[in-house]
Amino acid sequence: MIKTQNNFDFDEKIKYPELVRKYLNQDDLVLTIETTGLSPERHRIISFSAARFDKKSPDTVNTLTYFSENKDDELEVIESALGEIKGASRIITWNGASFDLKFLSKRCEVYAKKLDYNNSSVKIGGEEKHLYDLSKLLHPIRRSIRDESLSIYTLLEEMGLSDTTLPDGRTVTMLYKTWEKTDEKKYAEPIIDHSVYKLTGIINLLSLLNCLRITKVKPEITEVTTETGHKITFTSSNKNNVKFEPSDSKKAAAFVGTDSECITVSGTTDIFAPIPLAFALPGIHLTFTGSTFTCIFDTKGGRIRIYYADAASYVRIKESGQLIPKELAGTMSKDSYEKVTRETCYTLSALPEDESKAKKQLESYIRQLVLM
C-alpha cells in the first residue's frame, strides 16, 4: 500500500473560505474512494482519500490517500480508512450514502470488518458519526441549477473550479489497470491527484449550502426597466429618490426569448449565491447570482402575471378567463370552468403607479416566486 500526504492553505484553495467555514467544523472528515467498478460484489477499492483541518494550524487542511498497489492491499486500505473514520466527529461526502460508504461497507464484510451507515450517520466501533452527504443536502435546489443531476464535476465547473488536466472516473479505472500491469508511478499519480481534487471540490461545494437559504431572501430593487423604455433607479437609503433615464427595453425582451414587452427588475440580495440559481415560470424569469438578482416579466398592456402557489385550489372560468377559488365553482356547471396547473394558475395585474409602492409589491412578489 502507498500512503501519500499533502496539505494546502484553506484560504488559497477554497473559493469562498468564510462561507465554507460556516458549514465545516474543525474535526470533520471529508472522504472519497476510487474503485475498480460500481459493484462491491465484483469490484474492489483502489484508494481511500480523506481531508481534515490540521489540529495545530486551523488554516491548513491535510489530505491523505491510501492507495492499493494490488488486490492484496485492499484490506490494509480498508483498515486505514476505518481508522480515519473512527477519529472524526462528522463525515462529509459527495454521494457517500449511495456509493462511497455503501461500497466501503460491503467490502468490509469480505474481510469480516464492520461499518454500519444510513443516510444520516455512520456507526463504527459503537460510536455514531453524523453523515453530511452534500449531494442529498443540495437536492432541494436541483431544479434551480443548470445540471439537475447534481454532478460534482459540473458544479465545480459552474464555480470556475474545473480541472481538465485530471482524469475522469472512467479513466481512473483504466489507469489503475495499466498500473497493475506495469507498476509504473506515472499511472498511479493521476489517480491520487484526481482524489485530492475531489476532496478539495467537496469542501468548495459546502458553500452551495448557502443556496438553501434563498427561500428566505430579501431582495432590494435598485433598478426597473419598463416596456416604455424608461429606467427607474431606486436607492436603498431613500426609497423616494427616483431617477428616470432612457433605456433599451428591447434587449430585455430578447432575453425572455419573445418580442413581447417586458419589465426587467434588478437589485441586490442579503443572501449570497455561489452559483447562478434560476426560477422560471411562463412569462417570468428570475435569476440570482452572487449578491444580485434579475427578474424579467413579460407584460400585456402593462400588466404582469401574478402566480398563485396552490394551483389545485383554483379553477378558471372559460368565458371570462377569471381565476376563482375552487370552492366557488361548486354550484357552477363543470363545462363552464377548467382546471389550472402551476404554469397557468395566475392573474394579470397592473403595478401601482406610485414607484415606491410598485417597488415594495415587486420585492414581495419575488420572495413569493422563490417559494413556488
**Considering only CA atoms, which of 274, 213, 209, 206 is closest in space to residue 53?**
206
Cell numbers standing for residue 280: 422560471
Distinct helix (H) and strand (E) counts, the chain: 10, 18
Q: Determine the structural domain holding residue 44 and report its residue range.
A: 2-212
**Same domain for 177 and 227?**
no
Please tell me the predicted confidence (pLDDT) of residue 254. 33
**Considering only CA atoms, which of 81, 96, 359, 67 is closest in space to residue 202?**
96
**Same domain for 181 and 251?**
no
Classify each residue of 127-140 as buried b or exposed e, where b means 16 or more C-beta atoms within 10 Å of its C-beta: eebebbbbbbbbee
Q: Which residues contact 323 (CB under 8 A, 6 or more apart)?
A: 308, 314, 315, 316, 340, 345, 346, 347
| Overall number of domains in the chain | 2
The one-letter amino acid code at 337 reads Y
**Same domain for 164 and 276?**
no
Please tell me the predicted confidence (pLDDT) of residue 74. 97
**Same domain for 293 and 159?**
no
**Same domain for 82 and 131?**
yes
Q: Cα 198–46–20 angle (5° rounding)?
A: 20
**Same domain for 157 and 245?**
no
Question: Coil, helix or strand for 108?
Answer: helix
**Same domain for 200 and 173?**
yes
Cell numbers standing for residue 63: 489530505
Q: What is the pLDDT along the chain (372 residues), one digit of tens a residue?
A: 999 999 999 999 999 999 999 999 999 999 999 999 999 999 999 999 999 999 899 899 999 999 999 999 999 999 999 999 999 999 999 999 999 999 999 999 999 999 998 888 999 988 999 999 999 999 999 889 887 788 999 999 999 999 989 998 889 999 999 999 998 999 999 999 999 999 999 999 999 999 999 999 999 999 988 755 444 444 443 333 333 333 343 333 333 334 457 889 999 999 999 999 999 888 899 999 999 999 999 887 778 999 998 999 999 999 999 999 999 998 899 999 999 999 999 999 998 888 899 999 999 999 999 988
Please tell me the predicted confidence (pLDDT) of residue 260. 53
Q: Which residues contact 37 (CB under 8 A, 6 or more apart)?
A: 43, 173
**Same domain for 174 and 246?**
no
Assigned domain for 246 exists: yes
**Same domain for 259 and 356?**
yes
Assigned domain for 318 exists: no
**Same domain for 14 and 127?**
yes
Q: Which residues contact 341 (CB under 8 A, 6 or more apart)?
A: 311
**Same domain for 166 and 267?**
no
CATH number at residue 142: 3.30.420.10
